[in-house]
């Protein structure tokens, strides 16, 4: 996928990774970048085309698809983390994460798949997480949503292959953005580097981009017993 001359739409483009995606797409020669956010007043990036889009609202998605019918690259970046847990936490938090991190990208992809087909096939990039393959206490709902989003990515890749649409999953651990601000003292990837790897992956036709060493190690460990990934469970469960 040659990004030069492409027309891209980036969800959640008002800050963090979304803003960086928009900037680097322009740097790589995209003709137009739709910077999508729920509140377009938060879009202040030079060179982009602001686009109102709430990925949990079907009417908003339909309106965005009508306005951005020239898109050739879709970056499903928008996501949330509520900190919800599974056993005793508020189920509304889990539902919000699934609506945003799973059903949001699915609904946007369903709306834009015919547009990509009409424009030659194009490409989709889904912002996933190393937590697609791992979970930890305090963020278990987020892990569920990202595991589902990873398999969603595999599914839409299969279903869109016939129309020539390339689908790439981007997986990474903590990135130095607002979402990771509360994780002090933990290693965080540079968003400039992560986005650069992601766009290289689109250009190279990669199915997945594993953007840091921890994520690569984690995927390599998936064939092992779960106790190798969760050492706190290595001794078994005791009453």
Which helix or strand (DSSP H or E) is residue 35 part of?
strand 32-37
CA Rg value for the chain = 18
Q: Is the pLDDT of residue 186 over 80?
A: no
Residues 6+ apart with CB under 8 A from 101: 79, 80, 142, 145, 146, 148, 149
What per-residue confidence (pLDDT) applies to 198? Answer: 97
Residue 75 belongs to a domain: yes
Which helix or strand (DSSP H or E) is residue 74 part of?
strand 73-76
Residue 21 belongs to a domain: yes
3-state secondary structure of 175: strand
d(CA 98, CA 85): 13
Tokens of 136: 């930890």
Which residue intervals of the chain are DSSP H helices?
Answer: 16-27, 58-67, 91-98, 104-118, 140-160, 191-204, 213-220, 226-229
Residue 116 belongs to a domain: yes
Residues 6+ apart with CB under 8 A from 32: 7, 8, 49, 70
* Least confident interval from 33-47, 162-176, 193-207, 220-234: 220-234
**CATH number (domain holding residue 151):** 3.40.50.720
Yes or no: say if 90 and 103 are a contact pair by the CB < 8 Å rule: no
Q: By residue range, what is the domain housing residue 184? A: 7-233
Residue 123 belongs to a domain: yes
Q: Is the pLDDT of residue 239 over 70?
A: no
Residue 212 belongs to a domain: yes
Residue 200 belongs to a domain: yes
* Least confident interval from 3-12, 21-30, 133-142, 143-152: 133-142
Predicted confidence (pLDDT) per residue in 97-117, tens digit: 999 999 999 999 999 999 999
Predicted confidence (pLDDT) per residue in 194-224, tens digit: 999 999 999 999 999 999 999 999 999 999 9
Q: Total structural domains in the chain?
A: 1
Residue 238 belongs to a domain: no
3-state secondary structure of 153: helix
């Amino acid at each position: 996928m040659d990004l030069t001359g492409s027309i891209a739409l980036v969800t959640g483009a008002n800050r963090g990774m979304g803003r960086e995606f928009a900037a680097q797409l322009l740097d790589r020669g995209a003709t137009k970048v739709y910077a999508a956010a729920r509140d377009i007043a938060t879009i202040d990036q030079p060179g982009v085309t602001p686009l109102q889009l709430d990925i949990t609202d079907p009417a908003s998605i339909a309106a965005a698809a009508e306005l951005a019918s020239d898109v050739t690259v879709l970056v499903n970046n928008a996501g949330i983390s509520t900190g919800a847990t599974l056993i005793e936490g508020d189920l509304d938090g889990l539902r919000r994460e699934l609506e945003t991190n799973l059903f949001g990208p699915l609904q946007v992809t369903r709306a834009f798949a015919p547009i990509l087909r009409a424009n030659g096939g194009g490409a989709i990039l889904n912002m996933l997480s190393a937590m697609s393959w791992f979970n930890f206490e305090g963020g278990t709902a987020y892990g569920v949503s990202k595991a589902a989003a990873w398999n969603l990515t595999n599914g839409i890749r299969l279903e869109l292959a016939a129309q020539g649409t390339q689908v790439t999953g981007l997986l990474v651990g903590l990135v130095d953005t607002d979402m990771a601000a509360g994780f002090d003292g933990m290693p965080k990837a540079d968003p400039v580097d992560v986005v650069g790897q992601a766009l290289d992956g689109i250009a190279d036709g990669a199915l997945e981009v594993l953007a840091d060493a921890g994520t690569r190690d984690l995927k390599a460990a998936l064939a092992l017993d779960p106790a190798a990934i969760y050492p706190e469970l290595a001794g078994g469960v005791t009453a």
